[in-house]
Structure 1
Amino acid sequence: MSNNPLGGVIPPQPPIDAQSNAHALKSRLEWGEPAFTVIDVRNREAFNDGHIMGAMTMPIEQLVERAKPALATTRDIYLYGETDEQTAEAAQQLRNAGFEHVSELKGGLPAWKAIGGPTEGIVESQTPPGADDYNVVARVQNHLETQQKDV
């Protein structure tokens, strides 16, 4: 017998895809799914200016040495960098270091912001909210439009 009292009630989370779009990550956040980490591999200044809410900063040059002691190799990890190429390079570093559940967030921060994902940081806090932030109808319309975008 397993020591998980909810075993059989809550199905195990399927493995995450090697690449994810912003919608996949946002839906996990909105459903309150536990046990995943978002890592921003851009430099510290870019991270401080603005990043996905709750993301950890681990610049690509220090990624493996910082991730190894901080995260279990079985944890779901979503990564993003300045470009999809930098993101792919960072993901490969983690996979080579033994991390099993690494997903590249396609489009990075711009894709996240395009679907209204929450952000934090110096520049982000000074940016006025979009006109649709207080308009539910516009937000729903925007959501429907971004669902059809290939980010």
Structure 2
Amino acid sequence: MADLQDAIANAKDKLPDVTPTPPGFHPQATATELKGRLQWGEPALTIVDVRDRDSFNACRIMGAITMQMDALADRAESSLEHSRDIYIYGANDEETAAAANALRQAGFEKVAELKGGMDAWTEIGGPVEGTGTDDHPVSSGEYNVVSRIAEFTEERKKEG
């Protein structure tokens, strides 16, 4: 069975434009990786924003939930499964790393630090929401699956 799975993986690697696949999970994730997973419509992940409440309310990754650093582990314990894919970001990479480590120490198995946080997310045109996002341009992929897959394919080509 392992030989068959290896053969399938090798075939997909040789035909990336014919058989696009969503990005895998990495403990150090880029904004492009997270956006790729969202564009594929993968429901088995949670995005956690650990910045202060005002920053969260003003602008956040669309669909993110807020959990403050001082109660992060307790709140996550009561609301998230330990095996769930969690993408976390803070005000900077240091806060993000501290939050990710707190969740890992609490027993969460798949915690990814979103490198660059909101700055990296907005730089690639990731969807955002909040009180300060009225001027954010909306891509056609936010409403249309065909456009979303086309955007994903273009972004994968840029990654090389």
TM-score of the two chains, using structure 2 as the length reference: 0.71
How far apart are residue 20 of structure 1 and its match? 0.2
Output the amino acid matched with 1:91.
A
**Structure 2: tracts of 5 or more residues without a match:** 1-21, 141-150
- State the Cα distance separating 1:116 from its structure 2 match: 0.6
Who is 2:120 aligned against? 111
In structure 2, the residue matched to 1:54 is 63
Q: Structure 1: which 4+ aligned runs deviate by more than 3 Å?
A: none
Give 2:53's aligned residue.
44
For 1:122, what is the secondary structure of its paired residue? coil
* Residue-by-residue CA offset, 1:18-44 (whole Å, 9 max, x unaligned): 110001000000001121000000011
Q: Deviations over 1:38-78 (max 9, x none)?
A: 00000111100000000000011111111001000000000
* Matched letter for residue 101 of structure 1: K
1:129 counterpart = 2:157: no
Given that 1:50 and 1:119 are in contact with CA atoms closer than 8 Å, whether structure 2 keeps it comes out as yes
Check if 1:35 corresponds to 2:44.
yes
Q: What is the CA–CA distance in structure 1 between the aligned matches of 2:37 and 2:57, rounded to whole Å?
A: 24
Q: Cα RMSD over matched residues?
A: 2.5
Residue matched to 2:9: none
Structure 1: distance between partners of 2:124 and 2:23: 24
For 1:41, the aligned partner's letter is: V
Q: What residue number does 1:86 align with?
A: 95
| Residue of structure 1 equivalent to 2:107 | 98
Q: For 1:37 and 1:49, locate their aligned partners in 2 and report how far apart those are by CA, in whole Å.
A: 20
Structure 2 distance, partners of 1:119, 1:15, is 22
Structure 1 unmatched ranges of 5 or more:
1-12, 135-139
Aligned residues of 2:128 and 2:136 also touching (Cα < 8 A):
no
Q: Which amino acid aligns with 2:122?
A: K
The Cα of 1:128 is off from its aligned counterpart by 5.1
Number of the residue aligned with 1:71: 80
Matched residue type, 2:86:
I
